[in-house]
Amino acid sequence: MTQKPVKKKKRRRRKLRKGVVVFLAVLAVAAGLLFYIPRQLTVSKLKSLGYTSEQVRMIRKMELQDVIIKNRYYSENLAEAVENGTVNTDYLPLYTAVNRTLDEDDFLLYNRLMDHEYEEDQVQNLFASLSFREMIPLLLYDYQWDETPYIEDCKNNRDTNTGGTFILTKNYGTPYRVTEEIGMPSSVSALINSHMYLPEDYVPEKLTDIDTQYAITGQQLRDDAAEAFEKLCAAAQENGTPCYAVNTYRSWEFQNNAYKSFSDSLGEEGADKKCIRPGHSEHQAGLAVNIAATYEGDKAFEETELYKWLVTNAAEYGWILRYPLPLSGITTIADEPDHLRYLGKDLAKAVKASNLTYDEYYLLYLDSWHDENMKPSAEILKAVDYKRQNKKAGDEESEKPQETETPEETAEPVQSGETTETEAAPETEEPASEEVTSEEETSEEEASEAETEGSETEEN
39-73: pLDDT as tens digits: 789 899 999 999 999 999 999 999 999 999 999 99
Reference 459, options 428, 441, 433, 437; nearest CA is 437
Reference 272, options 169, 358, 177; nearest CA is 177
**pLDDT of 428 higher than 60:** no
**Cα gap 43→190, rounded to integer Å:** 53
* CB 353 within 8 Å of CB 300: no
Q: Per-residue pLDDT averaged across 413-425, rounded?
A: 36
**Cα gap 373→382, rounded to integer Å:** 17
Q: What is the DSSP string of 342-406?
A: E--HHHHHHHHHHTS-HHHHIIIII---SSGGG---HHHHHHTTHHHHHHHHHHT---SPPPSSP
Residue 419: predicted pLDDT: 36
Q: How many CB atoms lie within 10 A of CB 66?
A: 10
pLDDT category of residue 456 using cuts at 50, 70 and 90: very low
Q: How far apart are the first and last CA of the chain?
A: 135
Residue 385: predicted pLDDT: 75
Amino acid code (one letter) for 231: K
Domain boundaries, the chain: 42-98, 99-156, 180-344+396-452
**pLDDT of 405 higher than 60:** no
**Cα gap 162→122, rounded to integer Å:** 25
Amino acid code (one letter) for 55: Q
CATH architecture of 180-344+396-452: 2-Layer Sandwich (3.30)
SS3 249: coil
**Cα gap 26→249, rounded to integer Å:** 89
**Cα gap 22→319, rounded to integer Å:** 85
Residue 310: predicted pLDDT: 98
Amino acid code (one letter) for 373: N
Average pLDDT, the chain: 82
Residue 415: predicted pLDDT: 33
* φ, ψ at 244 (rounded to 5°): -160, 160
**Cα gap 212→210, rounded to integer Å:** 6
259-290: pLDDT as tens digits: 999 999 999 999 998 899 999 999 999 999 99
pLDDT category of residue 455 using cuts at 50, 70 and 90: very low
Q: Per-residue pLDDT averaged across 217-225, rounded?
A: 97
SS3 288: strand
* φ, ψ at 196 (rounded to 5°): -120, 130
88-118: pLDDT as tens digits: 999 999 999 998 899 999 999 999 999 999 9
Segment (H or E) for 125: helix 120-129
* φ, ψ at 20 (rounded to 5°): -70, -40
Segment (H or E) for 72: none
* CB 429 within 8 Å of CB 244: yes
pLDDT category of residue 386 using cuts at 50, 70 and 90: low
Reference 110, options 81, 88, 77; nearest CA is 88
Looking at beta carbons, which pairs linking 13-17 to residues 24 or more positions away fall under 8 Å?
A: none
Name which of 7-16, 194-203, 225-234 the model is least confident about. Answer: 7-16
Burial class (CB within 10 angstroms; exposed 0-12, middle 13-18, buried 19+) of 132: middle
Give the global pTM: 0.79
Q: Per-residue pLDDT averaged across 146-164, rounded?
A: 94
- Which is it for strands 196-197 and 180-181: parallel, antiparallel or unpaired? parallel
Q: Per-residue pLDDT averaged across 208-236, rounded?
A: 97
